[in-house]
Structure 1
Amino acid sequence: MDDVLVIGGTRFIGRYTVSEFRDAGYDVTMFNRGTRANPFVDDEAVAHFEGNRRDRDALEDVHTAVDPDVVVDCVAYFPEDVRVATDVFADVDAYVYVSSGAAYGEERVPKREDDTALEPCSDEQATTDSAETYGPRKAEGDREVFSAAEAGVRAMSVRPTVVYGPHDYTERFAYWVDRVDVEDRVVVPGDGLSLWQMAYVEDVASALRLVAEAGTAGEAYNVGDEHAPMLGQWLDLLAETCETGVETVGATARDLARHGLEPQDFPMYRASPHLLETAKLRALGWSSTPHRVALQRTVAEHRENERTGRQFGPDRETEGEILDALTE
């Protein structure tokens, strides 16, 4: 497998996927609309083919132009995207679909690829672009992968939990990096006991390469940090990385309600634990990056960009009122 086509490739997971395959000696082509800055514009090892991934003719054109051995599909957000792609690229050595831990429709700890039920997906959900339909759409994409594999395509799925790291445009984790880096005291919902396993972006990229190389057709592979700190522990790790001290003040749902908030108003809070079993991926030789290394890279890039994530959580004035009320 020498030639890799990454559908996407400029923003976050796709960006690191391109680097992962390039650094492993593959010839890499990105396929996207070209509407975002290309971080590899000066890299002769990375080609760029413009087109709309939702246009079958465009997919067929890039198939003819590149003749890829591997296709990594980072931006398949609708089941139809996967259905068409696995048909167009049915002859490749590996088609790897970037799914999500949100595809699971059952609250179990941990969630296992072969035991935990996926979200159902109605016809309406399959074509509706909203946060509420994201999990069902990803689950239906998984089912398209399984169907393609049954038809003889070497198609596989990779399911990351929430991804963090440099260049994270979602800013979910940036909220907490910013709070720890610039404030002395922060409010932590639920006393910091929320458990939402995360996945470092470089580890997701390495998982995609390993699955392409050694995965089994028709299988799904979870990706998540091998150690899953609770929210309060993440803040301790961030404080250590930022070389600062921060006082974390736990707030119950009742405490927050007095100020018109609920725990879910804070990024990375989850009422029930979300933990993915990663033994299946580790059996391929995968391992996760130590948190201290991952956070050093994340904080360094965070300080260079203008993303703070403040718009995704309570404003500092309200947080100050909560802190005052809880520490009187």
Structure 2
Amino acid sequence: MQKILVIGGSRYFGKHLVTLLRDAGDEVTLLNRGSAAPPPGVGRLVADRDDEGQLLAALGGRTFDTVVDQVCYTPLQAAVARRVFAGRTGRYVMTSTMEVYDPAPPTPEARAYAEGKRQAEAVFRGEPEDGGPEPFGFAAVRTAHVLGGGREEFTGRLEHYVGRIAAGTPVDVHAAPYATSFIHHREIARFLQWAAGQKFTGVVDAASHGALDVLGLCELVAEQVGRPAHHLIVEQGAPASPFSFDRDYALDNGRAAGLGFGFGRVADWLPGAIGESINASINASITEPLGEPGH
């Protein structure tokens, strides 16, 4: 049994991670700003992770075997965590993203997200400020695009395809899109649970086997929607629909597989994830309240 702190973990695959750890017999504590209560059997700490004093007060004298950080987006957040958890944990696992490999994010928001994750990783990997030993073993899990879960997948990326193809609206794609990497939301939760119990440090990529380009994704969605997919070609470097890329940065899951984690295949779970998204869209349209007459 390990004592594990999960920072964040109150929505999407973070919820699955927390329950997996609990059900495996670990002593799990969830730290967030009070936005959501943890499931039964999981401890709770409430603090704003950006506020170092508040974080220290919430932790008190607690120590952990592993911290899994689901919501570290900036180097400032990483610096606070590095100071606060030095001497409190033997291992720190940060959920990062494949976007750190992206050579040309298409929007200012995407560039800021990727750069924030890159810099946060760099802070955790930096030399100790006092020249002493490392504060803890650090691992960065760079996850592929996470899909599945219907409405739980709050980014709406699969619904984008379901909605457009069902309506006959063209999907914006590049002329020769590169394949990209995906992982199911429950698989990344299992991977993070597994990673929390390992000893490795450094960067590890987490992706299901089998990269897929946007045209292949459209074909799968069209097959289930029952309508053909139409495409609108965008210029090189221009924004397009989610998962259409004019550059290559698919993940290599070889290190994680070599360390002992068995990934599934995109081809095995993606049709089910598309079906969940279709059902979520149908249910949303059924339950959407009607407007007043004439509205």
TM-score normalised to structure 1 length: 0.72
Residue in 1 that maps onto 2:156: 171
Residue in 2 that maps onto 1:101: 98
Change (3 A) 1:3 1:148: farther
2:131 aligned with 1:144, yes or no? no
Q: Is contact 1:184–1:245 with CA below 8 Å preserved after alignment?
A: no
Q: Is contact 1:22–1:46 with CA below 8 Å preserved after alignment?
A: yes
Query: How far apart, CA to CA, are the structure 1 residues paired with 2:210 and 2:102?
Result: 23
Secondary structure of 1:6's match? Answer: strand
Change (3 A) 1:226 1:85: same
AA at the equivalent of 2:100: A
Q: Which runs of 5+ in 1 are unaligned?
A: 108-118, 120-128, 309-328
AA at the equivalent of 1:249: H
User: Once the two structures are superposed, what CA deviation does each residue of 1:145-183 show, in whole Å capped at 9, x if it has no partner?
Assistant: 212686241111111132222212111232113344x34
Q: Is contact 1:31–1:48 with CA below 8 Å preserved after alignment?
A: yes
Query: How far apart, CA to CA, are the structure 1 residues paired with 2:160 and 2:227?
Result: 15
Query: How far apart, CA to CA, are the structure 1 residues paired with 2:51 and 2:273?
Result: 36
Residue in 1 that maps onto 2:77: 81
Q: Is contact 1:156–1:215 with CA below 8 Å preserved after alignment?
A: no
2:53 aligned with 1:57, yes or no? yes
Residue in 1 that maps onto 2:230: 249
2:124 aligned with 1:157, yes or no? no
Residue in 1 that maps onto 2:293: none
How much does 1:295 deviate?
Answer: 4.0
How much does 1:96 deviate?
Answer: 0.5
Q: Is contact 2:5–2:30 with CA below 8 Å preserved after alignment?
A: yes
Secondary structure of 2:114's match? Answer: helix
Q: Is contact 2:178–2:245 with CA below 8 Å preserved after alignment?
A: yes
Q: Of residues 238, 244, 250 in structure 2, which corresponds to 1:275?
A: 250
Query: How far apart, CA to CA, are the structure 1 residues paired with 2:271 and 2:44?
Result: 30
Residue in 2 that maps onto 1:210: 194
User: Once the two structures are superposed, what CA deviation does each residue of 1:279-306 show, in whole Å capped at 9, x if it has no partner?
Assistant: 1111122233333335425632662477
AA at the equivalent of 1:300: E
Pairs aligned (count) = 274
Query: How far apart, CA to CA, are the structure 2 residues paired with 1:290 and 1:138?
Result: 26
**Higher alpha-carbon deviation: 299-308 or 220-229:** 299-308
Q: Which residues of 2 match residues 229-268 of structure 1 at below 5 A?
A: 229-240=212-223, 242=224, 244-253=225-234, 264-268=239-243
Q: Is contact 2:78–2:123 with CA below 8 Å preserved after alignment?
A: yes
Q: Is contact 2:94–2:141 with CA below 8 Å preserved after alignment?
A: yes
Change (3 A) 1:9 1:302: farther
Query: How far apart, CA to CA, are the structure 1 residues paired with 2:273 and 2:26?
Result: 25
Change (3 A) 1:250 1:11: same
Q: Is contact 1:192–1:233 with CA below 8 Å preserved after alignment?
A: no
Q: Which residues of 2 match residues 307-318 of structure 1 at below 5 A?
A: none
**Higher alpha-carbon deviation: 293-302 or 169-178:** 293-302
TM-score normalised to structure 2 length: 0.79
Change (3 A) 1:271 1:8: same
Change (3 A) 1:130 1:106: closer
Query: How far apart, CA to CA, are the structure 1 residues paired with 2:113 and 2:257?
Result: 27
Change (3 A) 1:267 1:62: same
Query: How far apart, CA to CA, are the structure 2 residues paired with 1:19 and 1:192?
Result: 41
Query: How far apart, CA to CA, are the structure 1 residues paired with 2:102 and 2:228?
Result: 36
Q: Is contact 1:100–1:160 with CA below 8 Å preserved after alignment?
A: yes
Change (3 A) 1:223 1:90: same
Q: Which runs of 5+ in 2 are unaligned?
A: 286-295
Residue in 1 that maps onto 2:110: 131
Question: What RMSD in Å do the two structures reach over aligned CA positions?
Answer: 3.1
